[in-house]
Amino acid sequence: MRYLLMAATVILTAAAPSNLSAQDVQQVKYQRWGMFGGYKDKSTGPNSWKVLAGVNGRAPEGSAFKIALYRAAELTKSAGFRYFQIINQKGNQSYISLGGASYKHRGGGDAELQIVAVNDSSAPLDCLAENPQLCMTLEVEATMQRVTPFLKFPRSK
């Protein structure tokens, strides 16, 4: 099992061109937690949540984290806030060797974010991560715009 540095994914996702189309990237389903992965969340206090996401099978690396980021932005927006602070994050991506060590197949992956919804873009003061670089503040609309090309939404959306 290989652990991902989630801060790198956030930075890459935030810096990704916003003009990517669905044809340019491999998408993963954005859905509530189910048999094939998805997201789930739990309120941990006023305007704060723990967001969990998981993917199965051949999802692109970092997919669970992108699902968690989008859900964090959704929760923040629905609560009427402009920014969310990631105060802790964890995740991993599994790899399975098939037919010898020379070929690796991506397995499932998961991500966990602890977030607080805020209206201020300043850095989080209450970082719970062992590495302070894993704590950051992200703007809701920009996060949703940049992560959307990587997600496949249900038809009702």
pTM for this model (two decimals): 0.80
* 49 falls within a domain: yes
Distance between first and last Cα of the chain: 34
From residue 135, give the alpha-carbon distance in Å to each of 20, 44, 46, 64, 114: 26, 17, 19, 18, 10
For residue range 94-108, list pLDDT tens digits in order: 655 555 555 554 556
* 64 falls within a domain: yes
* 50 falls within a domain: yes
For residue range 19-66, list pLDDT tens digits in order: 555 456 788 889 899 877 899 999 999 999 999 999 987 788 889 999
3-state secondary structure of 9: helix
* 118 falls within a domain: no
* 36 falls within a domain: yes
* 59 falls within a domain: yes
* 130 falls within a domain: no
Phi, psi of 104 (to 5 degrees): -115, 140
| Residue numbers of the domain that contains 61 | 2-12+26-81+91-112+140-145
Q: Based on the structure, what is the number of domains in the chain?
A: 1
